[in-house]
Amino acid sequence: MGRIDNIYEPPLNQAVDLPEHVHIVAQPAVLDGIDPIRDDVKLIECGVDDPLPIHSLVNASIVVIEVDPRSRNSLERVDQLRKHAPSVPVIAGLGDVDIATTRQLLRRGVSDIVALPFALDELVTSIVDVADKIELDVADQVAPAPFITVLKSIGGSGATTVITHLAAQMTSDLGEGARSCIIDLDLQSGDVASYMGVAPRRTLADLIESTDRVDEEVISSVAASGHHNVDVIAAPTDIVPIESLEFDQLMMIVTLARKRYDLVFVDLPANMTNWSLSTIFAADQTLVIGQLTIPSLRHAKRQIDFLVSMGIPRDKIQVALNRVEKRLFKTIDASDAAGALKHPILATIGEDANLLRTAQDQGELVDAFQKRSKFNRDIMQLADLVADRLAELN
């Protein structure tokens, strides 16, 4: 909570606790009037006809947004915000508050309306009232499941092998009855379903085509059982353009999956897209899977540097090196890799090509053939470390 002291006229001339992660989206001239709370909220300069800065709103608890009813784009931004983050309350700032516009905004799901230019006491009162209502509304609700994205440094790094085994292990660690879901977003070469031995009748494409009707039941009908505790939403059967997926559609699917499952994993393509970047922003953790090869490390460094430059905290990015051979004499090891990446290595996973090939040829996980393999021990360690990172962030 940010604490604001002695800035209001009576009866509000007292300390007020503002909730954390309040974002205010408005034109610079509108934001100039709220200097006393500038350090306690996040201000985002944005004209009413500018695109909604979705990337900047990922962690918002409440969004205050300037609305001009004369601008179609301004109103559509409210719809986009409600669709993108349906659980985040929206407060609309209006220059001219009239009954017709107020009703229209309330129908669009706006929680409250304040006049522009902002009157500080009215704005703070609205934020505090909406925050109090959030606490009442969510008191009996279950928090959404942790959401982990897995990003391959280059194709062929074994990320799909890691994500399938990691999902099964982390879900088992949660105890009996826990269940997770892997959403395969590698639209052009996704193999999660085949690695887990399932041939689903429906895929992610069915969800994308029917996002207006998607609910938890539809998610359940598309998700195929790929393991005793892991379901799979498979990549489309046919190759589709990698930019054909929209972030709003994807987040609707992910949000519903997080309500239904105990863990949600997303397998991303190696190529960075607008929607994959936004997905990483929204995730609790991102796991980059690389190898101890120069091309893999070079590309992993580029990915990490890019994500950090876009504002993703380093502590939300973890690196695991796959297919690490345990040899006495090595040209490069994990410590060398960490130095090259300028980023710590969370874990390494040993090479066991024959065992993995046998399992994957039969659509099984390794533990179906050999429970005490070195590969399984490495996956168990990785699962513990990822769970620890999730716990640290909560």
pLDDT of residue 321: 95
The sign of the dihedral angle between the CA atoms of 248, 249, 252, 254 is negative
pLDDT of residue 140: 46
pLDDT along the chain (394 residues), means of 10: 42 62 92 85 92 84 92 88 83 87 84 90 91 64 85 90 95 93 91 88 86 77 87 89 81 89 94 88 94 92 93 92 71 81 93 81 80 88 95 80
Q: Do 2-138 and 147-393 show the same overall fold? A: yes
Q: What is the pTM of this model?
A: 0.69
pLDDT of residue 3: 44
pLDDT of residue 258: 92
pLDDT of residue 12: 43
Structural domain boundaries of the chain?
2-138, 147-393
Q: What number does CATH give the domain 2-138? A: 3.40.50.2300
pLDDT of residue 65: 94
pLDDT of residue 135: 64
pLDDT of residue 87: 80
Q: Which CATH architecture has domain 147-393?
A: 3-Layer(aba) Sandwich (3.40)
pLDDT of residue 9: 42
